[in-house]
Structure 1
Amino acid sequence: MKEQQSIPTSKVARATQFVKTGVKIGGNYLKYNVKKMVDPNLTKEQLHTDNATDIYDSLSQLKGSALKVAQMLSMDRNVLPRAYVDRFQMSQYSAPPLSGPLVVKTFRNQFGKTPGELFDTFEMQALNAASIGQVHLATKDGKKLAVKIQYPGVANSISSDLKMVKPMAVRLFGLNETDIERYMGEVESKLLEETDYELELKRSVEISEACAHIPDLVFPAYYPEWSGSRILTMDWLEGQHLKDFLLTNPSQEVRNKIGQALWDFYDFQVHQLRQVHADPHPGNFLMRADGTMGVIDFGCVKVIPDFFYDNYFALINPDTVEDEQKTQAIFYNLEFLVNEDTEADKRMFSDLFKTMIGLLGKPFAVDEFDFGDETYFDSVYAFADELAKVEELKNSKVARGSQHGLYINRTYFGLYSLLNELKAKVKTTKPEWLISKKKIEV
C-alpha cells in the first residue's frame, strides 16, 4: 500500500479537500444523469460505487474524525448502500499508512527519541492503518509489541471536520438533519476521548483486568513507559480479523465459542461495569483457530449513566412493555416521546418503538439464540427500511431518543452483526431482572 507523506492539518487545507470531494461527487451525479437519459432503466449502483470510492479516497487522506464517521456508518447496513459499506469498511484497518519520516517525527515529539532508540527492533512499515492511528510491530527484551501511533493533527481537527462532514452525510445519505446534529455532538465527545491515548491506556488496563475472568478472551498487557498522549504500546496479539478468520472455514463449535466470548464480554461490561467497549467493529478483535479471541483498542468507551441504564434495559423485559403506563413513562424519560407530540404522534411513535424493542430485544427473550438465523436479521433490516420511509421521522424537528442511546444502540448493532457473520449460537446470559416473571414462573 502506498505510504502517505503528509496529512493536511490546517482548517483551510482540510476544507479544500472536502470541496474537491464535493466537486467529484457532483461530477458523478452529472455522469449518472446523462447516462440515465440514454438508459431509463439504469440503477444507481455505479453512482454509489463512484461516490463511495471518491469519498473514501478523500477521507483516508485526511484521516481523523471524518474517516472515523465513515467507519461507524459502515457498521450499519441500513444507513448506507452496499457500495459505501464495502468501501468504508476498509477504514477499519486498511487506510493508507504514514511514511517513515512522519512516524519518527511523532516519536521525537513524544519522547525526544526515535523508535530505534526506544525498542530493540521497530518495523517502520505499519501493519494496520485505520482512522485515528496506525499500528507498528516492535520488539523489546524478546517481547513482541504493538505500537499505536496517532496521526498528526487528528485531535485538533475534530470539531471543524465534523462540521464539514455533516452536510455531506445529510444530503448524500438522506439522514435526518435534526438527528444528525445530536449524533455529531455525541460523536465529537467520543472522538475527543479517542485521541487521548493516556485516557485509553487507563481504560484499557481497568477494563481488561476487570474482564480477565471471562473464558476464551485474551487481553494484551500495556506499557506506560512507552506510551504517551499520541503513542500507545501493548503486547502484540496473534489472531485474524473476522473476514480473514472466516476464510479458514472454522467449525461451528469454534464459531460458537468465540460468539459466546463476545456475548459474555459485552454482557459483563454493560451490566456489571456500566461502561462498555463501544466500537465493536471487526478490526478490534483477533480470532484464533482454538476458539479464543484477542480484544484490542479501548479508545471508544461509553460510560452508561444509571438513569439511562435503568430505563433503557427495563424495556428489554417483556413485562415492562405489557405495562402501558410504565412504558409511556420510560418513553418520555428516554426522549422517544416529547411533550410537544400530539395524541396521533404518541400512538405512532409508541407503536414504532415497541416494534423496534421487540426486534432488538429478541435475543434477550430466550436462553439461547442462533445469530445465524437470517430470517431474524431480514426482519430487522426490513423494519429499518420501513422506518426510513416514515415521513414523520424524516421531517421531524425533534431528535428522538436520548443521546446516550447512540453508542449503546451502535454497540449492540455491532455485536449482533459480528455474531451474525460468525453464524454463532450463544447462551444469552443477562441479569435476572431482565427476565420476564412469567417465564421464571413457568
Structure 2
Amino acid sequence: MTDIPRRAASRTAKLAALPLGFAGRAALGLGKRAVGIASDVIATDIQQRTAEQLFSVLGQLKGGAMKFGQALSVFEAAMPEEMAGPYRQALNKLQEAAPPMPVASLHKALAEQLGPDWRDKFAEFDDVPAAAASIGQVHRALWKLPPARKNAKPKTIPVAVKVQYPGAGDALLADLKQLSLLAGMFKIIQPGMDIKPLLAELRERITEELDYAMEAETQTAFADAFAGDEEIFVPRVIASAERVLITEWVEGTPLARVISEGTREERDEAGRLMATLHFSAPARAGLLHADPHPGNFRMLPDGRLAVIDFGAVARLPDGHPELIGRLVRLALAGEAEAVVDGLREEGFIKPDDEVDAEAVLTFLRPMIEPLAVDEFQFTRSWLRGEATRLTSPRSPAYQLSRKLNLPPSYLMIHRVTLGSIGVLCQLEAEAPYRAIVEKWLPGFAPVA
C-alpha cells in the first residue's frame, strides 16, 4: 500500500470511529438518566465530550475533513460558552497546521508542474512548509525576476509557493462522504445546525478549489481591483500551474491571533476591514471572497487587511443583488408588506404560502439590528442569542423560518455573510457597519 491510500484509509477509520464514540456517550447518558442525574447536565456533558473528540480528530486530518472544520470554525462564536474553549482550540489548529508531505513528493510535484528545471526559477526554496491548507501546503521561497538589462544580476522577491497534496481530489471526496455520516453529531453539539447543505456546497466547490490556475485568475482579478488600496491588500500572482500557485509573500499578524490576543482597537479595526472587504469586493471585482475563516487573513504592519486565499469565490458580475439592500432598508423602515412582496417576488416565500407580514418583520428585525444604528458591536452573546432564537423548535422565529425558502442563487451569499458575521463576533468588533453598507450595498441607501 502506498503512502496516499494508507493515509486515506487512516482518515476514513478515524472518521468512521466518531459515530461509535458518540453512540457510547449517548448510551451512557441514558444510564445516568436512570439514576436520576438532571437531563440538562447530561446533555451538556455529552455535548462537551462529543465536541472534544470530534474536533480533536478533525484537527489531525487533511482533505475534506480539514476544509469542513475550517468552514465550521467561523461559527464557533455561536457555541455555548462552556464548549467554546475546546472547540476554539481544536479549530485554531486546523487553521495553522497539518502534517507535511514528504520532501521527495514535494519535489516531484514541483517538477511535474513547473518543469524539471524548477529549481532554476528560485534563488532559495525552503523545503519545510511555512503553513498548511486543507488541500495543499505553502513554502517560502525567493523567486528570480528577469534582469532589467543584459548581464545585470537578477533581482529576487519573497514568494509563497502553494503546492497541492498528491491525490487531494480523491481525499476530499472520500472525506466528505464520511463526514455526511456525522450530521447527527453536529446536531448534538449545536442543535438546529443543518450540516448537509454545507457538505453539498463544499462538494460543488471542490473542482474549482483544486484548480490552482483558476484560483490564479481569480486572485489576479482581486489584486487588480484592489491595487493601491489603502485598506485591503491582495498579493499578486507571480506564476501558476494546475497544482502549484506562486504569489507574493505576505508578512503579517494572523487574524486568529488578533482574535485571541488583539487589543480592543485592533479587533475593532480588523472587523471594520473585514466588513469593507465583504461588501466592496462584489462592486469592485465582481467577486465575493467566499472562505471567511480567520486563517485566510493577516493584519499588515501598515494597518491593511491582507487576503491570502482565493480558492473559493462567488461570482457576482453585477455586484451584490440590489434586492438585498432594498429589503433591508424597507425592513428598517417598518414597511412589512413591501418586504413580504419583495421576498415573494424573489422566491424566498413560495407563491402559495400565506405568511403574516408583521411576523416576518419581527423575524427579520433582530438580524438587521447591526444596520439600525450608527455603530454596532458584534459579540458572542449576541450571536448565541440569535442562534437560539432561530433554531429552538419552541421559538416563533423557528416556526416561521420553516415557511421561508432560500433560492439557490442566494445560497453562497447567505453562507458567506453568516461566516463573516461569525468572524466579527469572534473579534467582538465595534464599527460603523451601517456607513460601510450604505457605501457599497446597492439598494440600501435611500434614493435621493
TM range (shorter): 0.7 to 0.9
Match of 2:104 among 85, 101, 104: 101
Q: Partner residue of 1:415?
A: 420
> Is the contact between residue 212 and residue 243 of structure 2 (CA under 8 Å) also seen in structure 1?
yes
Q: Partner residue of 1:212?
A: 227
User: How far is 1:268 from its partner?
Assistant: 1.5
> Is the contact between residue 334 and residue 401 of structure 1 (CA under 8 Å) also seen in structure 2?
no
Query: Unpaired segments of 5 or more residues in structure 2?
Result: 145-155
User: How far is 1:270 from its partner?
Assistant: 3.0
Q: Partner residue of 1:169?
A: 183
1:131 counterpart = 2:144: no
Q: For 1:209, give the aligned amino acid.
A: D
> Is the contact between residue 162 and residue 246 of structure 2 (CA under 8 Å) also seen in structure 1?
yes
Q: Partner residue of 1:434?
A: 444
Query: Unpaired segments of 5 or more residues in structure 1?
Result: none
Q: For 2:205, give the aligned amino acid.
A: K
Show the 5 A alignment for 1:125-274. Answer: 125-141=128-144, 142-173=156-187, 180-224=195-239, 227-245=240-258, 249-250=262-263, 252=265, 254-274=266-286
> Is the contact between residue 325 and residue 443 of structure 2 (CA under 8 Å) also seen in structure 1?
no
Q: Partner residue of 1:55?
A: 54
Q: Partner residue of 1:280?
A: 292
Q: For 1:215, give the aligned amino acid.
A: E
How big is each residue's C-alpha offset from its partner over 1:138-195, in whole Å with a ceiling of 9 and x where there is no partner?
A: 1224321111122222223444433332231244325899965444333322232122
Q: Partner residue of 1:364?
A: 371
Task: Please give the secondary structure, in 2, of the residue aligned with 1:136.
Answer: strand
Match of 1:295 among 266, 289, 307: 307
Q: For 2:100, give the aligned amino acid.
A: P
1:382 counterpart = 2:371: no
Whole-angstrom CA distance in 2 between matches of 1:114 and 1:25: 51
Q: For 2:386, give the aligned amino acid.
A: F
User: How far is 1:399 from its partner?
Assistant: 7.9
User: How far is 1:324 from its partner?
Assistant: 4.0
1:78 counterpart = 2:75: no
How big is each residue's C-alpha offset from its partner over 1:246-267, in whole Å with a ceiling of 9 and x where there is no partner?
A: 5665472x55544443333222
Whole-angstrom CA distance in 1 between matches of 2:403 and 2:16: 30
Q: For 1:235, give the aligned amino acid.
A: E
Whole-angstrom CA distance in 2 between matches of 1:72 and 1:355: 29
Task: Please give the secondary structure, in 1, of the residue aligned with 2:420.
Answer: helix
> Is the contact between residue 50 and residue 185 of structure 2 (CA under 8 Å) also seen in structure 1?
no
User: How far is 1:26 from its partner?
Assistant: 3.2
Q: Partner residue of 1:110?
A: 113
Show the 5 A alignment for 1:319-398. Answer: 322-339=334-351, 341=353, 343=354, 346-347=355-356, 354-355=361-362, 357-366=364-373, 368-371=374-377, 374=379, 378-390=381-393
Count of residue correspondences: 422
Query: For residues 29 and 295 of structure 1, do their structure 2 counterparts lie closer, same or farther at Cα, with a shift above 3 Å needed?
Result: same
User: How far is 1:7 from its partner?
Assistant: 4.4
Task: Please give the secondary structure, in 2, of the residue aligned with 1:223.
Answer: strand
Q: For 1:295, give the aligned amino acid.
A: V
Query: For residues 266 and 138 of structure 1, do their structure 2 counterparts lie closer, same or farther at Cα, with a shift above 3 Å needed?
Result: same
Q: Partner residue of 1:21?
A: 18
> Is the contact between residue 7 and residue 61 of structure 1 (CA under 8 Å) also seen in structure 2?
no
Q: For 2:78, give the aligned amino acid.
A: N
> Is the contact between residue 311 and residue 333 of structure 1 (CA under 8 Å) also seen in structure 2?
no
Whole-angstrom CA distance in 2 between matches of 1:371 and 1:396: 25
Q: Please, what is the CA RMSD of the aligned residues? A: 3.7
Task: Please give the secondary structure, in 1, of the residue aligned with 2:253.
Answer: coil
Q: For 2:199, give the aligned amino acid.
A: M
Query: For residues 327 and 370 of structure 1, do their structure 2 counterparts lie closer, same or farther at Cα, with a shift above 3 Å needed?
Result: closer
> Is the contact between residue 256 and residue 426 of structure 1 (CA under 8 Å) also seen in structure 2?
no
User: How far is 1:241 from its partner?
Assistant: 0.9
Q: For 1:410, give the aligned amino acid.
A: R
Scaled by the length of structure 2, the TM-score of the pair is 0.79
Whole-angstrom CA distance in 1 between matches of 2:135 and 2:174: 16
